[in-house]
């Protein structure tokens, strides 16, 4: 089912060729050769290509890839000048080499000529099946098997492999993550994707999602080249129950500018990116230290037992501080069973607090066996998933011994012990925790943020696994027989009229008010009488976007006479407002009972991810609260429910101030219908705004009161 290539021969190659091998010390070509020949533990064949014909490290250099003796080659490492890259890649393709890593720079990040070169590479890949990694990247590092297909002088120190997989675009910050994970389980594979002309971050995530030696995937991105592919990769990771932790740099305008000045990617909209990460179960983090810390915690907390956090410290102040942070993060505090508190009571002095937070008092500093005993007891408590252990001070040997007790307890505990080293003196206790891979947090806030993210991810995995049966819902209120007008499709603003937009929505199952387009005062009166009072009348004109402003809307009409008068007034107002406007008629609709909530539902096209569905509070609250949530389409019923629940003020849909709760299920169903409609339209819908959506009380449904729809240029409304 996977759309992703198998990267096995790239990740674990048995034969490589280095194109641009150099004997000049300090050159990238030389460092690459040294990394592969000297610093790697690479048993396969290494071929060197350099037209000079020199030999390097006693190995011959071939003048070209063609000249390399017969035999399978898995990966070509290309580090020649940008102008000579195409030639090398053509030879790779001709020879059937499946992968080329192009480390050279001077492509899209440099100038237009470089962009053109990238287009050529992409064409070659499509035509020949060659897969290209890069260009403009430091290469690939398989730390766990000690294979360095990179020119980085730091590779020789990349010694700490492990079950964390890392995918980045730029190289610089990626190395920070490697350094941060120097102890315990570290980074096993590091893909640094560069300009992503062919293979990119999604391909690497996808590989790691099914690589049995990778458990957690850390991702650092500055731009998103192919949003849909990224989504597929995130899905694959979720199916394989592997957390993906993402830091997306370039979220603010300032950050985008900074990122763009050194990469060639689209930054994407921060709100949509975050929504996608949430939608597909990735963990988004805000800082680089958090990327490493949360990845590590995901790994350490793999076998998390209970769900609650227990705070343990020998300082009352630290206990209160940590409990505050846990409370503020809305993380569950574990409640301790009586036998647990009894066991603590046996170990601790009488004035200690054995409730959660457990304040051992400074008495525990006398004897590290007390720390061990407390940890053992808490780690065995079934309600405890994590023990948060803030150490407020460096007390030399005393905190050193405590650290030993923590390391010891961590070895066998099913609960994860999370030490926080709060002092800036990084004494032996810190070193002990760090070198044993416990990655102590440096502040309580950071530790709690990380725990919260891991906790939420786990909760999301569980709910994603639970079966979700969408509730059946929705009758259409209008019959959608009439043809949709095409007149307004020509010209600069191909927006459909309200009548046409509603007709289309109605045809796809979305409930709109009963109503009809009328073309005379008499017809309006007749229609109003037929559909029932009170009714609403609105001008219909492709030239009038702001109907209310134009005096083109009348509410609360109670009689046929009212409707007749309203018709004439609306037409007259429209004429005054814009004398050249083509007025197609006046829409007469049944007015809905008061008390409904006003929401908005919209669709727009995101550069990276395609059509994005938005739900939010409508009416006057739109502008002020700016309370919306997004999902990329398609959206299922469970997603739709989550979108609604995510709104900061979703409480407004509950029973507030004596109003009955709103029909949230109907709103969710409408979201799914809109998603399906847009999906079936295959790109024909550029923009859709249903604002307001009237959401009645439970059982009353959700109805699209107004709609603005813009089709893609050339799209045919009647085909939808």
For the segment 255-294, give every residue that binds a copy of itself (CB under 8 A): 255-259, 261-263, 286-290, 292
CB closer to a copy of itself out of 128 and 176: 176
Is there a contact between 257 and 146 (Cβ–Cβ < 8 Å)?
no
Could you give the residue ranges of the DSSP H alpha helices within 551-700?
Answer: 560-577, 621-625, 637-646, 664-680
Indicate which single residue of 50, 269, 315, 488 sits in contact with a copy of itself (rule: CB under 8 A).
315
Q: What is the DSSP letter of 662?
A: B
Is the Cβ of residue 245 or residue 319 nearer to a copy of itself in the bound state? 319
Residue 2 structure tokens: 């996977």
- Return d(Cα 486, Cα 443) in angstroms, integer: 62
Interface with a copy of itself (CB under 8 A), residue from 149, 275, 311, 417: 311
Of residues 82-141, which lie at the interface with a copy of itself (CB under 8 A)?
none
Query: In the bound complex, what is the minimum distance in angstroms from residue 550's beta carbon to a copy of itself?
Result: 13
Binding characters for a copy of itself, 462-481, by CB under 8 A (x = yes)? --------------------
Please report the beta strands in 52-186, taking only residues with DSSP state E, as ranges in sequence order: 55-56, 59-62, 75-78, 99-102, 131-133, 139-142, 147-150, 164-168
Buried b (16+ CB within 10 A) or exposed e, 448-474: bbbbbbbbbbbebeeeeeeeeeeeebb
Asked if 518 contacts 712 with a C-beta cutoff of 8 angstroms, the reply is no
Inter-CA distances, 541 with 134, 518, 536, 704, Å: 52, 12, 16, 19
The interface region with a copy of itself, picked from 18-26, 315-323, 588-596, 705-713 by CB under 8 A, is 315-323
Place of tokens 């979220």: 251
DSSP assignment of 509-571, as one string?
Answer: T----SEEEESSHHHHHHHHHHH-SSEEEEEE-TT-S-TTTTT-EEEEE-SHHHHHHHHHHHH
Binder among 37, 67, 426, 697 for a copy of itself (CB under 8 A): 426
Give me the least distance between CB of 402 and a copy of itself, in Å please.
Answer: 14
**Helices first, then strands: H and E counts in the chain:** 22, 29
Residue 553: CB minimum distance to a copy of itself, A: 13
CB of 708 to a copy of itself, least distance (A): 16
Q: Going residue by residue from 153 to 172, which x/- string records binding to a copy of itself, judged by CB under 8 A?
A: -----------------x-x
Compare residues 320 and 638 and give the one whose CB is closer to a copy of itself: 320
Q: Give the shortest CB-320-to-a copy of itself separation in angstroms.
A: 4
Map tokens 């000690």 to a residue.
146
- Contact positions with a copy of itself (CB under 8 A) in 341-360: 353, 355, 357, 359
| Helix axis angle, 397-412 to 428-435, nearest 10° | 20
Shortest distance, position 284 Cβ to a copy of itself, whole Å: 13
Binding span for a copy of itself by CB under 8 A among 127-135, 203-211, 480-488, 621-629: 621-629
CA 415 to chain centre: 28
Tell how far CA 104 is from the center of its chain.
Answer: 30
Helix residue spans in 389-439 (DSSP H) = 397-412, 428-435
Q: At closest approach, how far in Å is the CB of 417 from a copy of itself?
A: 19
Q: Does 323 bind a copy of itself (CB under 8 A)?
A: yes
The structure tokens listed for 203 are: 């391909």
- Pick the piece of the chain touching a copy of itself (CB under 8 A) from 17-25, 390-398, 668-676, 710-718: 390-398
| Candidate residues 14, 366, 576, 649; the one interacting with a copy of itself per rule CB under 8 A | 649
Candidates 173, 581, 592, 708: give the one binding a copy of itself (CB under 8 A).
173
Binding positions for a copy of itself, 542-561, rule CB under 8 A: 549
Q: Does 318 bind a copy of itself (CB under 8 A)?
A: yes
Piece in contact with a copy of itself (CB under 8 A), picked from 45-53, 121-129, 173-181, 368-376: 173-181
Can you tell me which of 128, 445, 559, 687 binds a copy of itself, judged by CB under 8 A?
A: 445
Q: Is 411 in the site for a copy of itself (CB under 8 A)?
A: no
Token readout for 263 is 């990469």
| Cβ–Cβ under 8 Å, residues 128 and 93 | yes
């Amino acid at each position: 089912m996977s759309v992703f290539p198998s990267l096995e021969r790239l990740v674990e190659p048995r034969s490589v060729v280095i194109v641009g091998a150099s004997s000049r010390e300090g050159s990238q070509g030389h460092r690459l050769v040294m990394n592969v020949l000297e610093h790697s533990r690479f048993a396969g064949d290494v071929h060197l290509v350099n037209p000079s014909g020199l030999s390097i490290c006693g190995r011959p250099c071939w003048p070209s890839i063609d000249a390399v003796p017969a035999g399978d080659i898995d990966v070509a490492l290309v580090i020649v000048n940008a102008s000579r890259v195409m030639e090398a890649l053509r030879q790779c393709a001709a020879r059937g080499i499946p992968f080329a890593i192009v480390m050279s720079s001077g492509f899209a990040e440099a100038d237009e000529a470089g962009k053109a070169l990238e287009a050529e590479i992409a064409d070659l890949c499509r035509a020949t099946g060659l897969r290209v990694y890069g260009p403009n990247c430091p290469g690939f590092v398989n730390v766990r098997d000690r294979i360095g297909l990179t020119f980085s002088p730091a590779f020789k120190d990349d010694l700490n492999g492990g079950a964390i997989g890392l995918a980045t675009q730029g190289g610089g910050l990626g190395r920070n993550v490697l350094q941060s994970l120097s102890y315990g389980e570290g980074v096993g594979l590091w893909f640094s994707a560069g300009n992503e002309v062919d293979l990119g971050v999604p391909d690497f995530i996808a590989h790691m999602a099914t690589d049995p030696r990778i458990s957690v995937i850390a991702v650092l991105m500055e731009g998103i080249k192919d949003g849909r592919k990224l989504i597929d990769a995130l899905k694959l990771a979720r199916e394989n129950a592997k957390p993906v932790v993402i830091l997306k740099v370039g979220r603010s305008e300032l950050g985008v500018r900074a990122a763009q000045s050194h990469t060639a990617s689209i930054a994407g909209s921060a709100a949509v990116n975050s929504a996608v990460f949430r939608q597909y179960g990735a963990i988004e983090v805000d800082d680089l230290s958090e990327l490493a810390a949360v990845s590590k915690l995901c790994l350490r907390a793999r076998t998390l037992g209970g769900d609650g956090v227990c705070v343990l410290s020998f300082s009352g102040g630290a206990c209160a501080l940590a409990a505050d942070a846990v409370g503020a993060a809305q993380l569950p505090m574990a409640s301790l069973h009586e036998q647990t508190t009894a066991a603590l009571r046996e170990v601790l002095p009488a004035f200690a607090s054995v409730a959660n937070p457990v304040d051992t008092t400074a008495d525990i500093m006398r004897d590290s066996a007390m720390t061990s005993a407390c940890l053992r007891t808490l780690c065995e408590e079934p309600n405890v998933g994590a023990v948060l252990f803030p150490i407020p001070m460096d007390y030399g040997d005393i905190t050193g011994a405590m650290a030993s007790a923590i390391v010891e307890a961590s070895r066998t505990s099913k609960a994860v012990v999370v030490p926080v080293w709060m002092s800036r003196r990084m004494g032996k206790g810190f070193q002990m925790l760090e070198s044993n891979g416990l990655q102590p947090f440096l502040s309580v806030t950071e530790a709690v943020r990380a725990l919260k993210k891991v906790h939420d991810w786990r909760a999301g995995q569980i709910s994603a696994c639970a079966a979700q049966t969408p509730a059946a819902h929705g009758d259409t209120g209008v019959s959608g027989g009439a043809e949709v007008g095409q007149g307004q499709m020509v010209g600069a603003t191909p927006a459909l009229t309200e009548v046409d937009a509603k007709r289309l929505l109605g045809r796809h199952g979305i409930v709109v008010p009963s109503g009809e387009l009328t073309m005379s005062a008499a017809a309006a009166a007749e229609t109003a009488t037929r559909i029932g009072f009170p009714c609403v009348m609105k001008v219909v004109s492709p030239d009038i976007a702001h109907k209310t402003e134009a005096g083109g809307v009348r509410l609360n009409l109670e009689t046929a006479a009212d409707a007749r008068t309203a018709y004439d007034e609306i037409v007259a107002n429209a004429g005054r407002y814009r004398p050249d406007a083509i007025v197609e008629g006046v829409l007469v609709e049944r007015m809905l009972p008061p008390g409904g909530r006003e929401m908005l539902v919209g669709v727009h096209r995101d550069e990276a991810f395609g059509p994005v569905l938005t739900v939010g509070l409508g009416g006057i609250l739109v502008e002020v609260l700016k309370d919306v949530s997004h999902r990329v389409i398609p959206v299922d019923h469970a997603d739709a429910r989550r979108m609604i629940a995510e709104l900061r003020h979703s409480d407004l849909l509950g029973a507030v101030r004596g109003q009955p709760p709103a029909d949230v299920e109907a709103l969710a169903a409408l979201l799914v219908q809109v998603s399906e409609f847009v999906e079936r339209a295959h790109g024909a819908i550029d923009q859709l705004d249903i604002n307001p959506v009237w959401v009645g009380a439970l059982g009353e449904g959700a109805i699209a009161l107004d709609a603005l729809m813009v089709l893609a240029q050339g799209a045919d409304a009647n085909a939808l």
